[in-house]
Amino acid sequence: MKFLIDANRNHVSELMLQYPTLVRGQLLTPLTRFTNAEEGDFAIDNGAFSGFRHKDFSALLAREEKNKSRCLFVAVPDVVGDARRTLEIFKHRHGLIRNWSLALVAQDGMENLEIPWSEIEAIFVGGCDPWKDSKSSLDIVRTAKTLGKFVHVGRVNTFKRFDRFAQIGADTCDGSGVAIYSDDKLGEIQRAMHTNKEKNLWDTP
């Protein structure tokens, strides 16, 4: 699993060189409006966690139309913590987004509802923290990977959460703390990965 960083393009490019095993590309959002790095992969979040802005989201999609072939996914607008309302928005998404690789944002309670797997290319693991760290969210990730879908995990700022989802095959992740304190956070996760690998080697019979 690698990070998509919500930061300016020069910084993202530097991090991709400095942490090649941890950073895959850039996460664009209608809130920060950073310019596309124009190298490596990128994805587009909808900014709903801080309050969805239809006009800004549409403007970002229009701006990035020329870069669509490099875009891993666009997160369809969602309602934080509410799977049913999120699925309603997805059902009526055509007024918001067309002809992109779509990611459905998994929210609390989605394990009890039918996920439109044939209509999406990716799952974006959102939800409140207790649900994100639950077996229910992990089972959705396992299902997505079984079906050959791309998986992105939001709000990954610690090695514990990073390792939890990396172990079951999630592809990318992001975290506001990693974006703001990138060198400290990425260095911390890289060291923890190395320590964990050594511990597992010693534990192997």
Work out the pLDDT band at 190, boundaries 50, 70, 90: very high
Domains and CATH numbers, the chain: 2-203 (3.20.20.60)
Among the listed residues 51, 55, 72, the one whose alpha carbon sits nearest the alpha carbon of residue 63: 55
CA distance 69 to 55: 23
Work out the pLDDT band at 201, boundaries 50, 70, 90: very low
Residue 199 has pLDDT above 80, yes or no: no
Q: Is 92 exposed, middle or buried (0-12, 13-18, 19+ CB in 10 A)?
A: exposed
Q: What is the pLDDT of residue 130?
A: 97
CA angle 9, 14, 18 (to 5 degrees): 150
| Average pLDDT of the chain, as a whole number | 94
Q: What average pLDDT score do residues 152-178 get?
A: 97
Work out the pLDDT band at 205, boundaries 50, 70, 90: very low
**Residue 3: both structure tokens together:** 């990070």
CA distance 131 to 138: 10
Q: What is the pLDDT of residue 200?
A: 57
Among the listed residues 132, 154, 147, 133, the one whose alpha carbon sits nearest the alpha carbon of residue 43: 154
Tens-place pLDDT, residues 27-39:
999 999 999 988 8
CA distance 81 to 202: 40
Cβ-based neighbour number of residue 175 at 10 Å? 24
CA distance 195 to 190: 9
Q: What is the pLDDT of residue 194?
A: 87
Write down the pTM of the prediction.
Answer: 0.94
CA distance 121 to 148: 9
Residue 133 has pLDDT above 50, yes or no: yes
Q: What is the pLDDT of residue 20?
A: 96
Percent of the chain whose predicted confidence (pLDDT) is above 70:
96
